């Protein structure tokens, strides 16, 4: 049994989800991402409802148990975003994600801090994005923000980690997300990282959806890492989620 910790299932068709399930992936975290910048905060609130209700059922029919990640992606910050934060604060959630920083603007930092404050008080696990550009600097800033709110390390995955920022996150205690995707990491690179650093803190994902179609990434990693697969392709994600 395998777990893909970072998917945007709304961007995947039935055929792709079936392929995922057939490869052995039975659980996923499906994370919020709105493909255009929302004009209203309520747009995201309805998107969370769709994810938790319709999308969870759509996955279930295909035999996949889905955990819904909600929150404001740094590329989708709506006007009056405090309305979204209030909604997050007033309800119960599986996890927040993906959240974090893209360009580390003051607005992004404020939005990220607000999520962390809510997540810390309600003990909600968070999947935290790191960007393609300027990855090292933004990862450093991300860690500073996490530390500034004393965010519990066991509740955070710093995701899309690669050779540019691996040393920065290895120094800390957060979960480390490895994304297997063209332009991120290859299956072989993930295997190499696990061989060097062990399996204790790593979590593998595909970030599939909306154009990234490598839906079997976690299964491909599991095939080549041997006994480490149990942790990095399943158990660590369950530990992170507390399920």
CB atoms within 10 A of CB 210: 12
* C-beta closer to Zn ion: residue 104 or 228: 104
One symbol per residue from 19 to 58: x for binding Zn ion (CB under 5 A), - otherwise; what is it?
A: ----------------------------------------
Find out whether 5 and 233 touch, Cβ atoms under 8 Å: no
**Cβ of residue 127: shortest distance to Zn ion, in angstroms?**
8
Taking alpha carbons only, the member of 18, 14, 25, 22 closest to residue 205 is 25
- End-to-end, the C-alpha distance of the chain in Å comes to 15
Name which of 33 and 93 has its Cβ closer to Zn ion.
Answer: 33
Residue 102 or residue 207: which is nearer to Zn ion going by CB?
207
What is the smallest separation between the CB atom of 98 and Zn ion, expressed in angstroms?
5
Binding Zn ion (rule: CB under 5 A), the pick from 207, 219, 231, 236 is 207
- The Cα-based distances of 196 to 33, 176, 192, 193, 234 in angstroms read 33, 14, 6, 5, 20
123, with CB counted inside 10 A (0-12, 13-18, 19+), is exposed
- Closest-CB residue for Zn ion? 207
**What whole-number distance in Å separates Cα of residue 193 and Cα of residue 65?**
28
Residues in the chain: 243
Give me the least distance between CB of 228 and Zn ion, in Å please. 23
Find the helix or strand (DSSP H, E) in which 233 lies.
none
41 with 79: CB under 8 angstroms? Answer: yes
Stretch that binds Zn ion, among 20-28, 110-118, 143-151, 206-214 (CB under 5 A): 206-214
Contact window for Zn ion (CB under 5 A) among 48-56, 141-149, 185-193, 202-210: 202-210
If the CB atoms of residues 129 and 228 are measured against Zn ion, the closer one turns out to be 129
Which region among 21-29, 41-49, 100-108, 205-213 touches Zn ion (by CB under 5 A)?
205-213
Interface contacts to Zn ion, rule CB under 5 A: 207
């Amino acid at each position: 049994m395998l777990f893909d910790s970072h998917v945007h299932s709304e961007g995947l068709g039935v055929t792709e989800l079936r392929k995922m399930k057939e490869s052995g992936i039975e659980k996923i975290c499906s994370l919020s991402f709105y493909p255009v910048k929302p004009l209203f905060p309520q747009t995201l609130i309805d998107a969370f409802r769709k994810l938790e209700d319709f999308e969870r059922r759509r996955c279930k029919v295909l035999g996949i148990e889905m955990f819904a990640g909600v929150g404001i992606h740094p590329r989708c910050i709506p006007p009056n975003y405090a309305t979204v934060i209030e909604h997050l604060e007033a309800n119960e959630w599986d996890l927040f994600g993906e959240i974090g920083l893209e360009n580390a603007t003051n607005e992004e930092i404020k939005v990220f801090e607000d999520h962390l404050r809510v997540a810390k008080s309600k003990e909600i696990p968070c999947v935290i994005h790191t960007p393609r550009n300027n990855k090292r600097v933004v990862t450093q800033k991300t860690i500073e923000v996490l530390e500034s709110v004393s965010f519990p390390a066991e509740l955070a995955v710093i995701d899309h980690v690669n050779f540019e920022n691996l040393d920065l996150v290895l120094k800390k205690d957060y979960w480390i997300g490895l994304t297997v995707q063209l332009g991120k990491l290859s299956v072989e690179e993930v295997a190499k990282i696990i061989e060097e650093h062990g399996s204790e803190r790593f979590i593998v994902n595909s970030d599939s959806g909306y154009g990234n179609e490598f839906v079997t990434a976690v299964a491909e990693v599991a095939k080549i890492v041997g006994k480490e697969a149990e942790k990095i392709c399943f158990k660590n994600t369950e530990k992170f989620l507390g399920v």
